[in-house]
């Protein structure tokens, strides 16, 4: 179906770092992710944000999950938040700590492995409505918003949403078949709810749109149909926003680099053996290749 938008094919680049660079110039990413049994999702977001150039990354998770997340990667910081009886972030008990952590952050990456609860639904609504820091919302951030997707229209700062077709179906009420039959049109219509909203509709040929512009990603491969591949993308886009890229540009470069990292990973692991950590490992070469072109 044809949609009335400007089609973008050029991929923006990050630019070369000045010789006197310091980590304070490249953004502090706060990751709110992980829940009982899903520490890995939080670790993948944190690691991919670091591999995408973030100056500092902190991963905040429920108190039983944070020490596990800390064992995956020494280069990010972790923070244990109050948890409920199901091992999920307890909100509003976590609000004071979250306020302090958010004050230090340039961008939030919220959702992978969080789980769903009434408290988490309250937390995500609070983030959308009250928090002024740009954010990437994925997975359970979106599932917890599914009862009130209209709130995204009120976003007063850039928000990037990164649903797969299943999550987009919960947000929009359309079936997965309806979405897949008109991926561009559905993504553009949703993005037009707010001038601050960027939609990344994942899957083969991921669609990125802010409602005015549209990019369809050519990189990536079926080896990426593996748990955690999307968690990696969340960290990549957040890191690029933290480095000062506008949300749409960060989403376009992030999606492209993530797919390229998956293509690099396929050279080593093949499509069958590829796991999400291999995509994280491919990011360094992907950004080097894109930097050489840019």
Residue with tokens 């990549």: 236
Using CB under 6 A, pick the residue from 51, 58, 164, 183 that binds ligand ADP.
Answer: 164
Which of 131, 148, 176, 275 is the binder for ligand NAX (CB under 6 A)? 176
113 interacts with ligand NAX by CB under 6 A: yes
Number of residues lying near ligand NAX (CB under 6 A):
18
Which amino acids are annotated as binding site for (6S)-NADPHX, given as ranges?
A: 41, 113, 164, 231
Instruction: Report helix, strand or coil for 40.
Output: helix
Q: List beta partners, residue 137.
A: 110, 161
Return phi, psi of residue 131, to 5°. -90, 135
37 binds ligand ADP (CB under 6 A): no
Among 158, 203, 220, 242, binds ligand NAX (CB under 6 A): 203
Q: Does 174 bind ligand NAX (CB under 6 A)?
A: no
Distance CA 124, CA 145 (A): 7
Candidate list 93, 146, 221, 290; residue touching ligand ADP; CB under 6 A: 221
Question: With contact defined as beta carbons under 8 Å apart, do 257 and 215 qualify?
Answer: no
Kindly write out the interface string for residues 230-269 of this chain, putting x where it contacts Mg ion by CB under 5 A and - elsewhere.
x---------------------------------------
Distance of CA 20 to the CA centre of its chain: 29
54 binds ligand ADP (CB under 6 A): no
Query: How many Cβ atoms sit within 10 Å of the Cβ of residue 228?
Result: 21
Site map (CB under 6 A) of ligand NAX, residues 150-169, x = contact: --------------xxxx--
Write each residue from 114 to 143 as x if it is in contact with ligand ADP (CB under 6 A), else as -, in one continuous string: -------------------------x----
Distances (CA, A) of 255 to 23, 47, 215, 216, 277: 24, 16, 10, 9, 16
Binding-site residues, please? 41, 113, 164, 202-206, 230-231
**Structural element, H or E, at residue 77:** strand 77-81
Contacts of 45 (CB under 8 A, 6+ apart): 31, 33, 59, 109, 112, 231, 232, 234, 235, 238
Nearer to ligand ADP, 83 or 206 (CB): 206
Residues that bind ligand ADP (CB under 6 A): 139, 164, 202-204, 206, 220-222, 224-225, 227-231, 233
């Amino acid at each position: 179906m044809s949609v009335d938008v400007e089609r973008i094919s050029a991929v923006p680049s990050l630019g070369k770092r000045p010789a006197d660079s310091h980590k304070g110039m490249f953004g502090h990413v706060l990751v709110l992710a992980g829940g009982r049994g899903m520490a890995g999702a939080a670790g993948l977001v944190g690691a991919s944000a670091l591999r995408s150039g973030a100056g500092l990354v902190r991963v905040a998770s429920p108190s039983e999950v944070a020490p596990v997340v800390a064992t995956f990667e020494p280069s990010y910081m972790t923070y244990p938040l109050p948890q409920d009886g199901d091992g999920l972030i307890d909100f509003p008990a976590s609000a004071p700590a979250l306020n302090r952590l958010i004050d230090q952050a340039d961008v939030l990456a919220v959702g992978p492995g969080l789980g769903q609860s009434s408290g988490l639904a309250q937390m995500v609504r609070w983030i959308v409505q009250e928090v002024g820091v740009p954010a990437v919302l994925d997975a359970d951030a979106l599932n917890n918003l599914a009862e009130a997707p209209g709130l995204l229209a009120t976003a007063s700062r850039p928000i990037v949403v990164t649903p797969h077709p299943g999550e987009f179906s919960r947000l929009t009420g359309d079936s997965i078949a309806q979405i897949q039959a008109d991926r561009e049109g559905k993504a553009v219509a949703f993005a037009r709810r707010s001038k601050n909203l960027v939609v990344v509709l994942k899957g083969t040929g991921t669609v990125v749109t802010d409602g005015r512009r549209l990019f369809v990603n050519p990189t990536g491969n079926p080896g990426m149909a593996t748990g955690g591949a999307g968690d990696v993308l969340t960290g990549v886009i957040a890191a690029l926003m933290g480095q000062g890229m506008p949300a749409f540009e960060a989403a376009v470069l992030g999606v492209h680099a993530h797919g390229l990292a998956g293509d690099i990973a396929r050279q080593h692991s093949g499509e069958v053996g590829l796991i999400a950590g291999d995509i994280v490992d491919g990011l360094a070469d992907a950004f080097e290749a894109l930097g050489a072109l840019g």
